[in-house]
Amino acid sequence: MKNVMVLTVIWLLSLSSGNLINGPDLSKKEDLKALGFGKIFETDKTITTKIMLEEVTDYYIVYIKNESLHDMAMDRISRIEFYETKWGPVKIEFPNNKPKIILLD
């Protein structure tokens, strides 16, 4: 009986451990840098490649492209995708001008 209880506890811990891995915190510079290079997909179907996020504010993002800082309003962005991060592929969408992080498989 004791073995069954121990195995049950181990099993429950292993099931809940998948929720311990969080995505990037967009307010931390080190997390933004860890995202690496990505692509911005605008609502008008324009794609901006090889960008690095520098800052995410309330209504716009600041990014680096060709060693220059640029900004863009969130209402112009459909999504931003990063394919090689420490969290795996990451997509950021902006419903109602609020960043929503989606960890892809």
Backbone angles phi, psi at 3, to 5 degrees: -65, -40
Q: What is the per-residue pLDDT for 9?
A: 54
Q: What is the per-residue pLDDT for 55?
A: 97
**With bands split at pLDDT 50, 70 and 90, how would you rate the model's confidence at 6?**
low
Nearest of 44, 61, 42, 43 to residue 53 by alpha carbon: 61
Dihedral sign, CA of 61, 96, 28, 90?
Answer: negative
Distance CA 64, CA 37 (A): 9
pTM above 0.85, yes or no: no
Taken as a whole, the chain contains a residue count of: 105
Distance CA 92, CA 101 (A): 5
For 16-72, what is each residue's pLDDT tens digit?
A: 444 345 899 999 999 999 999 999 999 999 999 999 999 999 999 999 999 999 999
pLDDT over 60 at 102, yes or no: yes
Q: Greater confidence, 68 or 9?
A: 68
